[in-house]
């Protein structure tokens, strides 16, 4: 069978329980076989034939299926990413609505989605509603939700922005209602993320994989990396892990031409690639060796994205060594 989405997993587990020998094929191989066909056809029968052709040619290796514990851990980590992305999409919509009904609002707070700002938006969504609140009550509200950091000065600034706002009044009630719903949705999702993160951290604390000792890799990102990789013994060398993360360079060559502007292959685990990339942006500034490597790439004329991609490649090698040796990372000065 091929590992397509989640559809294969139930059958895989059922057949494993019966003691049947199974081989799981990477769907990238069957897709490549499908592209060789002139006719554009995709049915269950055709898909089975492509899998059979891949096996017949012998140019494949089994996809490593992780233990149930790793699969559960991976599911939690991926679910967290899904929630973070969902909250991010709603935040973009909130900014879009604020740009229409209260465009000055984004300049009032350093972070529109900070605690005080979110509390304010959940109660008062338009300049008119904030003006009706009054200065005294607004000061009390700000002091309460900012733990005393904000007060009369910020209240006067908000009221001044409300008085001179150029926000539209058309469909204001509908937009305000929509804004309140979305703010409450963001708050709910963030509560879920906090709860989920505690569970992830609890599981990670029992793994003893030392990934969080790598500069740029926190507990959550370390959990993602560990759950996506699973058993490091499934990878013979760092190059295979790099390919699994999809940060290996694609190759373009024809005749005497060899491209020097190759991009990442971006195959296999998008979650692992994302975690490594985020860690690389921090390591490029804080890790002595990786920072020097990043500066070298920039000095060579590489743009920011290319340089960070090179750092993430180096970081993947470090991850491989830490998991293989089961020892904390010690940065080279």
Task: List the CATH number of the domain containing 188.
Answer: 1.10.287.4070
- Mean pLDDT in each 10-residue stretch from start to end of the chain (333 residues)? 78 87 79 70 80 79 71 91 96 94 92 94 91 91 92 93 86 87 96 95 91 94 93 88 81 52 66 94 94 94 92 94 93 76
User: How far is it, in rounded angstroms, from Cα 8 to Cα 133?
Assistant: 57
- For residues 185 and 114, state if they share a domain: yes
The pLDDT, as a whole number, for residue 55 is 83
User: How far is it, in rounded angstroms, from Cα 89 to Cα 118?
Assistant: 16
Q: Which of 144, 171, 204 is the last residue of a domain?
A: 204
- For residues 227 and 310, state if they share a domain: yes
Q: Which helix (H) or strand (E) holds 70?
A: helix 68-101
What is the domain range of residue 160? Answer: 87-204
- For residues 94 and 194, state if they share a domain: yes
Q: Residue 279 falls within a domain, yes or no? A: yes
User: How far is it, in rounded angstroms, from Cα 11 to Cα 332?
Assistant: 47
- For residues 37 and 107, state if they share a domain: no
Q: Residue 77 falls within a domain, yes or no? A: no
Residues 6+ apart with CB under 8 A from 46: 34
- For residues 250 and 197, state if they share a domain: no
Instruction: Indicate the pTM of the whole model.
Output: 0.79
- Ramachandran angles phi, psi of 249, nearest 5°: -75, 140
- Ramachandran angles phi, psi of 253, nearest 5°: -145, 135
Q: Return the ∠ at Cα 303 (arms to 297 and 306), rounded to 5°.
A: 70
Q: Residue 2 falls within a domain, yes or no? A: no
Q: Domain count for the chain, please give it.
A: 3
The pLDDT, as a whole number, for residue 257 is 47
Q: Residue 333 falls within a domain, yes or no? A: no
Q: Residue 76 falls within a domain, yes or no? A: no
**Burial classification of residue 178, based on how many CB atoms lie within 10 Å of its CB (0-12 exposed, 13-18 middle, 19 or more buried):** middle
User: How far is it, in rounded angstroms, from Cα 53 to Cα 47?
Assistant: 10
Q: Which of 182, 204, 226 is the last residue of a domain?
A: 204
- For residues 178 and 279, state if they share a domain: no
C-alpha distance across the termini of the chain, in Å: 48
- For residues 15 and 34, state if they share a domain: yes
Q: Return the ∠ at Cα 322 (arms to 319 and 326), rounded to 5°.
A: 145
The pLDDT, as a whole number, for residue 251 is 54
Q: Which of 204, 239, 263 is the last residue of a domain?
A: 204
- For residues 200 and 233, state if they share a domain: no
Q: Residue 82 falls within a domain, yes or no? A: no
- For residues 221 and 300, state if they share a domain: yes
User: How far is it, in rounded angstroms, from Cα 54 to Cα 27?
Assistant: 10
- For residues 289 and 220, state if they share a domain: yes
User: How far is it, in rounded angstroms, from Cα 11 to Cα 1?
Assistant: 9
- For residues 222 and 297, state if they share a domain: yes
Q: Residue 218 falls within a domain, yes or no? A: yes
Q: Residue 1 falls within a domain, yes or no? A: no
- For residues 50 and 92, state if they share a domain: no
Tokens standing for residue 140: 């009390």
User: How far is it, in rounded angstroms, from Cα 22 to Cα 125?
Assistant: 57
Backbone dihedral region for residue 274 (phi beyond 0: left; psi -120 to 50: alpha; all else: beta): alpha
The pLDDT, as a whole number, for residue 200 is 94
């Amino acid at each position: 069978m091929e590992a397509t989405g989640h559809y294969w997993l139930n059958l895989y587990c059922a057949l494993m329980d019966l003691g049947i020998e199974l081989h799981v094929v990477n769907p990238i191989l069957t897709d490549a076989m499908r592209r060789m066909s002139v006719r554009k056809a995709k049915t269950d029968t055709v898909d089975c034939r492509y899998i059979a052709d891949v096996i017949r040619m012998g140019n494949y290796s089994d996809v490593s299926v992780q233990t149930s514990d790793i699969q559960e851990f991976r599911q939690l980590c991926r679910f967290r990413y899904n929630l973070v992305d969902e909250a991010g999409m709603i935040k973009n919509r909130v900014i879009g609505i604020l740009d229409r009904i209260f465009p000055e609002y984004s300049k009032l707070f350093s972070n529109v989605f900070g605690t005080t700002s979110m509390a304010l938006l959940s109660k008062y969504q338009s300049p008119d509603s904030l003006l009706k609140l009054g200065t005294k009550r607004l000061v009390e509200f700000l002091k309460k939700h900012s733990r005393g950091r904000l007060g009369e000065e910020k209240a006067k600034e908000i009221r001044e922005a409300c008085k001179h706002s150029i926000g539209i009044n058309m469909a204001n009630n509908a937009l305000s209602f929509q804004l309140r719903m979305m703010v409450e949705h963001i708050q709910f999702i963030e509560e879920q993320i906090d709860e989920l993160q505690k569970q992830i951290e609890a599981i990670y604390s029992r793994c003893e994989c030392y990934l969080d000792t790598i500069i740029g890799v926190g507990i959550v990102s370390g959990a993602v990396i560990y759950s996506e990789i699973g058993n490091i013994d499934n990878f013979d060398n760092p190059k295979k892990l790099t390919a699994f993360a999809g940060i290996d360079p694609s190759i373009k060559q024809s005749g005497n031409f060899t491209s020097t502007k190759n991009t990442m292959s971006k195959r296999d685990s998008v979650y692992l690639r994302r975690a490594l990339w985020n860690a690389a942006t921090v390591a490029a500034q804080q890790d002595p060796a990786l920072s020097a490597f990043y500066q070298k790439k920039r000095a060579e004329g590489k743009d920011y994205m290319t340089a960070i991609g090179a750092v993430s490649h180096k970081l993947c090698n470090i991850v491989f060594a830490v998991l293989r040796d089961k020892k904390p990372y010690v940065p080279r000065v």
